[in-house]
Amino acid sequence: MIPTGEAYWLPVIFIALMGLAFLMYAVLDGYDLGVGILLPNNSESQRDTMIASIGPFWDANETWLVLGVGILLIAFPSAHNVILFHLYLPVTFMLGGLILRGVAFDFRAKAPAHDKRLWDYAFKGGSLLATLSQGYMLGLFVMGFERSAIAYAFAVLSAVCVTAGYSFIGAAWLVMKTEGTLQMRAARWARICLWLTALGLFVVSLVNPLTSANVFEKWFGSSLGIFLLIIPLAVFFAVMTVDRYLARFPHSGDFGCWIPFVGALAVFILSFAALGYSFFPQVVPGKMTIWEAASATESLWFILYGAMIVLPAIILYTFYAYRVFWGKTRELTYY
């Protein structure tokens, strides 16, 4: 039974806030995870520049993950219990990867010179472990935590797709933030990862409706079907625009170096919109709706007052940090 009044719209507000937090995390921490994955083995100077390009931002980007998980825990505690129960092991691997990244980021700059490459590999490995874990968790979530060969195969596919997507947006970030040989190399990485991401999205878009009757009905049995075509068409347009730009790279005067990143941003936003539409109002697919999982109305009001303070503060300092450190990457130094 769907409630009415504030018992209806308060959980809707919080699921929207949680979706926003995870989207912001996927975009902002996504590109710095992607940069970590792409660290080349054959150029220390390029690794230094790549790390410098994310240096002022990467740690703060993870704030959005903390916010999203915090909303899930406080606003939807029943769903949090179910999700963590099923994802305990991959969450552990993800946290291990994120911790390894944090340690490696500082140690690579302060350890003896002969150990620097080791910490670069640790940063790369931590990034890869975190992205694979996040993709695997997303796949299991979409499959409603089924314990079947199909569900686990889909989770593995999702892990690869998410890693490709993060690598794409990371390469797009480097096209925008770097110059010279590294920028050219990043453009090649971006084009390869773009098509891997597009292929992954296409396969997931085929598999998901076939494995979920509810998702199939929403996309193909709804009167909104004709309008929903806007999402895949917009994704196709973004992919083709970025591909054509990268195919003719470099451009005079570094024209449009932001286009790949904006294209990646569009793909991420549209993919999240499609995912949200597919499963709303379920917070645990096939098991629990947002109203069944929500905290008491009084608790949600209290949390909302706090969110009205915390969320603008996070947005403001994120905007300020990117405004201060905008422009091409220069050498990252420590004093």
* Mean pLDDT, residues 301-319: 90
CA distance 132 to 164: 10
Query: For residue 245, what are its two tokens?
Result: 């730009």
Q: Which one is predicted more confidently, 210 or 244? A: 244
- Nearest Cα neighbor of 116 from 127, 105, 130 is 105
Count of CB atoms within 10 A of residue 156's CB?
A: 14
| Predicted confidence (pLDDT) at residue 334 exceeds the cutoff of 80 | no
Count of CB atoms within 10 A of residue 223's CB?
A: 6
Helix, strand, coil share (%) of the chain residues, nearest 5 = 80, 0, 20
Number of domains composing the chain? 1
Backbone angles phi, psi at 55, to 5 degrees: -50, -45
The CATH number linked to 253 is 1.20.1630
Residue 335 falls within a domain, yes or no? no
**Total-model pTM:** 0.91
pLDDT score of 1: 64
Element (H, E) at 284: strand 282-284
Cα radius of gyration (the chain): 20
Q: Domain residues for 280? A: 7-324
For residues 218, 222, 227, 228, the Cα torsion angle rounded to the nearest 10 degrees is 20
| Predicted confidence (pLDDT) at residue 140 exceeds the cutoff of 70 | yes
What residues contact 295, with CB distance under 8 A and at least 6 apart? 74, 75, 76, 77, 303
Residues 203, 206, 210, 212, CA torsion sign: positive
Residue 157 falls within a domain, yes or no? yes
Omega of the bond prior to 281 within 30 degrees of 0, cis?
yes
pLDDT tens, residue by residue, 84-110: 999 999 999 999 999 999 899 888 888
Residue 275 falls within a domain, yes or no? yes
Confidence tier at 198 by pLDDT (50, 70, 90) = very high
**Coil/strand/helix, residue 282:** strand
pLDDT score of 332: 55
Residue 329 falls within a domain, yes or no? no
Residue 334 falls within a domain, yes or no? no
Residue 19 falls within a domain, yes or no? yes
Query: For residue 26, what are its two tokens?
Result: 């996927």
End-to-end CA distance of the chain: 60
Residue 333 falls within a domain, yes or no? no
Most confident of 11-20, 107-116, 216-225, 278-287: 11-20
Residue 1 falls within a domain, yes or no? no
